[in-house]
Amino acid sequence: MDPLHQFMIKPLIPIKFAGIDLSFTNSSLAMVIATALIIFLCNYGSRQKLIVPTRFQSLAEFTYEFINNVILDTIGEEGRRYFPFVFSIFLFVFFGNILGLVPYNFTFTSHIIVTASLALCVYSLVLFLGFREFGLGFFKRFVPPGVPLAIIPVIAPVEFLSYFFRPISLAVRLFANMLAGHILLKVFAGFCLFLGVFGIFPIAFNIIFIGFEVFVAALQAYIFTILSCVYIQDALHSH
């Protein structure tokens, strides 16, 4: 089977309005499932508030503490006000990555349009915070202190481009890792079927590789989150 077939967006409920395709697709369904799981985790995990927590409550509390510590370590105490945003970003990316490993599900984080939209959400907040804190003085960050006046016309455009390439790298990193990992899984699975009865040995390797992909899915969600926090911290303390 074509390893790229799993990334095809298919309309489930065709909807067209004023010449615009607004169809509800398999990607949309995967996002709805991820959102529903996030709501369920947050609501059900915090509903009982037992002194001796259940496993589900422990999972919800662990996730909360984990993101809270990430924010405190990267942004500081003032970063607590951005906790809902960072927490939502982490869970959305995490569930998007993990659900993609479930057979017949869709990995929406393997599409650049989704990861780019998430990165633009992060960077819109970053730019808003930067201009709110420093006004037009925010542009001073593109001129490093101590740079001779003569080379500012060269340094400033380079700094400007490197700063605004951050959301691109943020989006491409997540997209590329999810895309490559799922292609490899599909290739190895097809190879096992091709070998027939002798495919039992590659299957063992494939199981190990799936475990590795689960680790990569969690790691990429963490990297996306911590970089978002770093960019927020940078905007709040721009020089």
pLDDT tens per residue across span 83-126 = 999 999 999 999 999 988 887 788 899 899 999 999 999 999 99
- Which residues span the domain enclosing 11? 5-236
Residue 225 dihedral angles phi and psi, to the nearest 5°: -70, -45
- Measuring CA to CA, how many Å separate 60 from each of 49, 52, 55, 131, 237? 11, 14, 9, 35, 31
Q: Can you tell me the distance from the alpha carbon of 75 to that of 226, in angstroms, rounded to the nearest whole number? A: 10
**Token reading at 76:** 């500081």
Q: What pLDDT, in 10s, does the model give residues 11-32?
A: 888 888 877 888 888 999 999 9
Q: What pLDDT, in 10s, does the model give residues 62-87?
A: 899 999 999 999 998 988 999 999 99
Count of the separate structural domains present in the chain: 1
How far from chain centre, in Å, is Cα 175? 9
